[in-house]
Structure 1
Amino acid sequence: MSLFLTWLLRRYALSRKLIDIPNARSSHSVPTPRGGGVSIVLSFLITIPFLSGELLAWNFVVAFMGAGAGVAVLGFLDDHGHVPARWRLLGHFSAAAWALFWLNGMPAVSVVGATVSLGWLGHVLAAFYLVWMLNLYNFMDGIDGIASIEAIGACLGAALLYWLAGFYNLLFAPVLLAMAVAGFLYWNFPPARIFMGDAGSGFIGITLGLLSIQAAWFSPKLFWVWLILLGVFIVDATVTLARRLLRGDKVYEAHRSHAYQFASRQFGRHLPVTLAVAAINLFWLLPVAAGVALWEVDGLFALVVAYAPLVFLAVRFHAGELEKV
């Protein structure tokens, strides 16, 4: 479904001249249609109700559909015009609140061997976490294929660990998202024939955040598993934001100072960076996450171990630095 819908959306974008024109802040040099991520949204939202029942509790389905659809519609409107930042942020927090209501908020998490529940503060922090996840996914969707590869790697990695650890009912939602993204990736793999757009990237970001909270309700350690699997995006976006904040930049303005963007310019094309992200996910983050899911390694300790080389790479590739003209 996603493969076919992306083809239709590409034809629609070309006919309506919904084209991303390269500018000084772009990582692309060729005008390219945008908005293809709507295929991911539609494919996932149309099919996830079929999981309700034995495979996925209905409250999770309602949370995914309501929050995901809201974020996607807001992103779609922004793709076709401009929605002021304050209204986008209000919409993002509203979507997070909707999802957390149906998920019963943020569950307890495992920290250094103890199970910790933060009560109402945990719910507030969870809302900020979901909003950060959807926005960082927007920030990180800047070169061909990278956002799709990250989502597929995290979802299939989590599904594999669920299967090995015996959490069979958790398998289906991440696999479904991975399949929807894979159909789009056919058209977005370097060199991209269509871009995802804010509708798709925001939808994937909040859905991944919800999958991590859903997993934590089944086992507190699984929240750490998701944070580890999504490490490439979380570290690059967070280090970049922190350095720009410290420098006094207007963080809401477009830029191309993420580590992956510097790397793509250094290598002269997008493919090596996108494949490097896939390799890091498979050969580094997945084994570390497996330690948490399968062998009772402490989640916080594993997170520090997983993120340390990623922070080094982010700094090595100048995340958050001013681009030299």
Structure 2
Amino acid sequence: MTMAPQDWFAPVATAAASGLVVLLLLPPLIAWLTRRAVMDIPNARSSHVRATPRGGGIALVAGILFGNVVWLVLQPDTGYPLAVLGMVALAVISWLDDRHGGLPVMLRLGMQVLVVGVVLALFPANGSMTTGLVPVWIERVVLFFAWIWFINLFNFMDGINGISGVEMVSIGLGAALLGLWQGEDPAGQVQALVLAAAALGFLPWNWGRARVFLGDVGSVPAGFMLGLLLLTLVSAGQWAAALILPMYYWVDATLTLLRRLLRREKVWQAHRSHFYQRGADRLGSHAAVAGRIALLNVALIGLALASTLSPAAAVLAVAAALVLALLLCKHFAGPAKPVV
């Protein structure tokens, strides 16, 4: 079921309200985080040079929660209430780690496994990645590990100002447009708009010289909810679009991992060798890097829409998206700008 143009007022208004909640919550939240000394102190692996409040994701999660609650009130039979509860659970444990530090990795990962496992087990079995060629239980196992991987991918890639907000806006708008294009689940389209709007509310405070960072309290729940959007696309048979929309993130992360393995580095340790981090060093600006990724993502959204035309178009769109992502990685890793 798709929504007629006149039916879009409530979803768009709900999403806009979500973004406004984030925007208005951030000033008092930043002041509170500063008083509580919840700060990200620069170190050798940091991409920032001054202590910055960490925990702006509290406002982001509040905005997403607000949008979902409003939509459930307006449309009680739609939405993803269980997934929203899972998002809140991930936010709580991530905040404890942001606030006190040192929570065991297995505890944090265990919560992700629990939340993803429960939501995925109860996810409607109305779609198939392989149109029945592979048993559904095998598909669910693959989706389970892919979702866990994406949550942590999104968390690891939150290394410069603006990059996570840009990715949230891009994937959210892309998923919403795909839903409208294909006439898919309206609840998924609303969820996509809420995530994009919440990220737009956060970006002004995290662009250029950031006044606040998401922290794990924001990046882990955001990765979880974005993973839900991508899972919704896969379950609707749009596997190519689910690969294309986050293409830059997983290409950068995969190439970086392979390079570190070849150099025999300890890949589990923190580092700053992602292509986007090298680009920030080369260009001397986080905003320049995030802006280039945003431009790439506009092209990726177009390719994701094109991938729905036919199986051949899907393969060609994925290939084109991969080439574009590789070219951007090469651009970021180019020679340093001369000192003048």
**TM tier, shorter chain?**
0.7 to 0.9
The alignment partner of 2:220 has SS state of helix
Shift of 1:300: 4.1
Rounded Cα–Cα distance in structure 2 between residues aligned with 1:306 and 1:12: 42
On the 8 A contact 1:2/1:40 being kept in 2, the answer is: yes
Q: How does 1:85-234 map to 2 (within 5 A)?
A: 85-104=105-124, 107-110=127-130, 116-167=133-184, 169=186, 170-217=188-235, 219-221=236-238, 223-234=239-250
Give the equivalent residue in structure 2 for 1:65: 84
Quick one: structure 1 residues 115 and 239, their matched pair in 2 at CA, closer, same or farther if it must change by over 3 Å?
A: farther
The CA deviation string for residues 192-215 of structure 1, in whole angstroms up to 9 with x for no partner, is 110110111111111111112123
Identity fraction in percent: 35
Rounded Cα–Cα distance in structure 2 between residues aligned with 1:276 and 1:44: 26
Give the equivalent residue in structure 2 for 1:36: 56
Which residue type is aligned with residue 240 of structure 2? W
Shift of 1:138: 0.9
Shift of 1:278: 0.6
The alignment partner of 1:248 has SS state of coil
The CA deviation string for residues 99-139 of structure 1, in whole angstroms up to 9 with x for no partner, is 202214694115xxx65444222212111111111111111
Q: 1:279 aligns with which of 277, 295, 301?
A: 295
Rounded Cα–Cα distance in structure 2 between residues aligned with 1:104 and 1:247: 43
Q: CA RMSD in A?
A: 2.3
Shift of 1:317: 4.0
Which residue type is aligned with residue 138 of structure 1? N
Are 2:286 and 1:266 equivalent residues in the alignment? Answer: no
Give the equivalent residue in structure 2 for 1:292: 307
Shift of 1:55: 5.5
Are 2:70 and 1:50 equivalent residues in the alignment? Answer: yes
Q: What is the TM-score of this pair, normalised by structure 2?
A: 0.84
Give the equivalent residue in structure 2 for 1:308: 323
Quick one: structure 1 residues 4 and 285, their matched pair in 2 at CA, closer, same or farther if it must change by over 3 Å?
A: same
Q: What is the TM-score of this pair, normalised by structure 1?
A: 0.88
On the 8 A contact 1:245/1:251 being kept in 2, the answer is: yes
The alignment partner of 1:5 has SS state of helix
Quick one: structure 1 residues 87 and 175, their matched pair in 2 at CA, closer, same or farther if it must change by over 3 Å?
A: same
On the 8 A contact 1:40/1:200 being kept in 2, the answer is: yes
On the 8 A contact 1:232/1:310 being kept in 2, the answer is: yes
Shifted more, 182-191 versus 273-282: the winner is: 182-191
Identify unmatched segments of 5+ residues in structure 1. Answer: 320-325
The alignment partner of 2:268 has SS state of coil
Which residue type is aligned with residue 76 of structure 1? W
Quick one: structure 1 residues 224 and 51, their matched pair in 2 at CA, closer, same or farther if it must change by over 3 Å?
A: farther
On the 8 A contact 1:258/1:318 being kept in 2, the answer is: no
Rounded Cα–Cα distance in structure 2 between residues aligned with 1:300 and 1:54: 39
Q: 2:31 aligns with which of 4, 8, 11?
A: 11
Are 2:42 and 1:26 equivalent residues in the alignment? Answer: no
On the 8 A contact 2:128/2:234 being kept in 1, the answer is: yes
On the 8 A contact 2:279/2:331 being kept in 1, the answer is: no
Are 2:268 and 1:252 equivalent residues in the alignment? Answer: yes
Identify unmatched segments of 5+ residues in structure 2. Answer: 1-20, 335-340
Rounded Cα–Cα distance in structure 1 between residues aligned with 2:141 and 2:202: 33
Rounded Cα–Cα distance in structure 2 between residues aligned with 1:277 and 1:18: 29
Which residue type is aligned with residue 137 of structure 1? F
Q: How many equivalent residue pairs? A: 312
Rounded Cα–Cα distance in structure 2 between residues aligned with 1:96 and 1:129: 10
Rounded Cα–Cα distance in structure 2 between residues aligned with 1:197 and 1:246: 30
On the 8 A contact 2:296/2:325 being kept in 1, the answer is: no
